[in-house]
Amino acid sequence: DQWEVPAIDVAGAARPMEPYYTIMRLPGAPEPEFIQMLPFTPRRKDNLAAWMVARSDGDHYGRLLVFQFPKQKVVFGPRQIVARINQDQVISPQITLWNQQGSEVIQGTLLVIPIEESLLYVRPLYLRAAGGKIPELKRVIVAYQNQIAMENSLEEAIAKIYSALDEIIIEG
């Protein structure tokens, strides 16, 4: 299979995702470690095929690992998640409102965080005032499965996602 680095919309233009550093416990590893991570999609498709890490700690420094998703399971890719965020009935109007009167909304790096057998997507939103040089963290967006939440902090967004999932489980 051919893979490619997913492109996501940044300031109205599609740009390849950049790898990012994080600390996480890799599947099967006993301890968290410092890694550089990048997701991959099948060539010319938007769903997620795999993610690759470059290990950056101790004896594992420089080693690459690839974690593939089963081909029979469709996993939302970064471009699909960004599109869902930008089309959300709560998030989209708020971004439009903040982008007026000289203020600028800056959508931060989209983080793809593997958790057990699923993925959590996190994207910070920053607001820079007209003439200002330093953006302020305004909201954090979290997407998990079919749920999206935008809240003041990561903790609040995750809590909202999980309370929505609890409601689905209870009602379903």
pLDDT, tens digit (0-9, with 9 covering 90-100), for 41-72: 999 999 999 999 999 988 899 999 999 988 88
State which amino acid sits at residue 145. Q
- Residue 80 is given by DSSP the state H
Identify whether the C-beta of residue 57 lies closer than 8 Å to the C-beta of residue 50. no
* pTM of the shown model: 0.86
91 near 107, Cβ under 8 Å?
no
Question: Do 17 and 5 form a contact (C-beta atoms < 8 A)?
Answer: yes
Q: Which of 36, 35, 49, 54 is nearest to 6 (CA)?
A: 49
Mean pLDDT within 151-156:
96
Q: What is the pLDDT of residue 41?
A: 94
Residue 36 has pLDDT above 50, yes or no: yes
